């Protein structure tokens, strides 16, 4: 079985974790290694649910913080094992998972082992299946199987944020906008009705749409409405009778699911619209006392999180949550995924200082 040395540096631990392949659905080897590593520490109570590992302190502190990170990655594409490279004098770890989000997990594992007397009780969560359909998400499964483990006053998700604090997150919605027509031979196209041609107004409305910027609790979230897929067509000599445009709407956390759905239906008035997936965002939660203390301790200026992250799961449970981890989110899933070594160290210092003194 692969072994993890939690006495090594966060940088060395990042390399070790990344080099244990854990594409979504194949996390067991890494989960086994994490479970074995944290179980060796008497100050942690360890629980396992599938390939999700939870380790908790039980020191009787007045406040509890939940700190989580996913252990799966998107598919590898000739970018493992991890390499150390230098760009303009700065050292980077280069390879799949370095950004999203094993550097953050490495920091969490090291601190979980070393912080035997933190100022707050801590629940550490390392979960599976984040990069795939939300119905498979290990954090979601854990919340159904063991909701008691989510008790906390504040949560931190180690999503890549360039070592800065990103509050809350946008919501996300997917919809299918459909047109229909009548099939005919393309040599006699006037006999039929071309469903793909009928989709032109859908694309025009998308092209004309202007993304809104909405302030929520002091942070400005940028929305977006975009076509992400078009399907239609029967054969090279047939006028198509059906077309679907898949649309993705990223909406500010001030909107709920019903409000976001109305926006999409209003934009595409006159067309058949089916909402096929929706996940509400998370408000920043930066007015919570622990959140204020955390932001001050790490010396950060909070920013909005434009993508959807699992902070929304904590927010739905009434737990204010932020994103805080090493790595540039623009490089998540990129074939040249890489994280600055200095950023890993900085996030470790920030978390360590706050958890030790909070």
Q: For 237-265, what is each residue's pLDDT tens digit?
A: 999 999 999 999 999 999 999 999 999 99
- Give the per-residue pLDDT at 285: 83
- Give the per-residue pLDDT at 300: 83
The string of pLDDT tens digits covering residues 222-231 is 999 999 999 9
- Give the per-residue pLDDT at 198: 97
- Give the per-residue pLDDT at 205: 97
Tell me the CA distances in angstroms from 282 to 135, 140, 166, 171, 317, one per residue in order.
Answer: 18, 15, 11, 7, 11
- Give the per-residue pLDDT at 358: 56
- Give the per-residue pLDDT at 299: 85
Q: In what order do the strands lie in the sheet with 64-70?
A: 45-49, 52-56, 121-127, 64-70, 154-157, 321-323, 166-167, 303-304
Tell me the CA distances in angstroms from 279 to 139, 257, 311, 330, one per residue in order.
Answer: 14, 7, 11, 21
What is the set of active-site residues? 72, 130
- Give the per-residue pLDDT at 1: 66
pTM, full prediction: 0.89
- Give the per-residue pLDDT at 154: 95
- Give the per-residue pLDDT at 301: 87
Low-confidence residues of the chain, pLDDT below 70?
Answer: 1, 358
The string of pLDDT tens digits covering residues 99-132 is 999 999 999 999 999 999 999 999 999 999 999 9
Element (H, E) at 75: none
- The DSSP bridge pattern shows strands 121-127 and 303-304 to be unpaired
- Give the per-residue pLDDT at 134: 83
């Amino acid at each position: 079985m692969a072994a993890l040395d939690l006495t090594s540096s966060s940088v060395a631990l990042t390399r070790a974790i990344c080099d244990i392949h854990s594409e979504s659905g194949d996390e067991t080897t890494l989960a086994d290694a994490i479970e074995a590593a944290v179980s060796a520490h008497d100050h942690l109570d360890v629980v396992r649910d599938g390939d999700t590992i939870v380790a908790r302190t039980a020191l009787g502190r007045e406040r509890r913080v939940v700190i989580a990170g996913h252990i799966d990655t998107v598919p590898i594409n000739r970018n493992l094992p991890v390499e150390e490279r230098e760009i303009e004098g700065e050292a980077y770890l280069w390879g799949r998972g370095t950004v999203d989000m094993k550097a953050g997990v490495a920091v969490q594992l090291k601190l979980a082992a070393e912080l035997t007397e933190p100022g707050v009780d801590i629940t550490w969560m390392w979960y599976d299946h984040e990069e795939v359909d939300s119905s498979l998400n290990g954090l979601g499964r854990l919340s159904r199987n063991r909701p008691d483990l989510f008790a906390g006053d504040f949560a931190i998700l180690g999503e890549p944020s360039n070592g800065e604090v990103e509050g809350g997150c946008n919501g996300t919605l997917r919809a299918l906008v459909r047109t229909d027509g009548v099939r005919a031979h393309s040599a006699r196209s006037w006999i039929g009705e071309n469903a793909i041609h009928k989709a032109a107004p859908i694309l025009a409305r998308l092209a004309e749409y202007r993304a809104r910027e909405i302030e929520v609790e002091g942070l400005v979230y940028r929305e977006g409405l975009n076509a992400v897929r078009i399907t239609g067509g029967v054969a090279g000599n047939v006028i198509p009778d059906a077309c679907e445009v898949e649309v993705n709407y990223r909406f500010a956390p001030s909107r709920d699911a019903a409000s976001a759905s109305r926006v999409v239906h209003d934009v595409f008035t006159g067309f058949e619209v089916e909402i096929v997936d929706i996940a509400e965002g998370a408000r920043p939660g930066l007015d919570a006392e622990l959140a204020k203390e955390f932001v001050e301790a790490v010396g950060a200026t909070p920013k909005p999180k434009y993508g959807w992250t699992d902070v929304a799961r904590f927010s739905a449970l009434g737990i204010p949550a932020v994103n805080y981890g090493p790595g540039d989110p623009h490089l998540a899933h990129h074939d040249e995924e890489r994280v600055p070594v200095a950023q890993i160290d900085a996030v470790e210092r920030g978390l360590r200082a706050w958890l030790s003194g909070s």
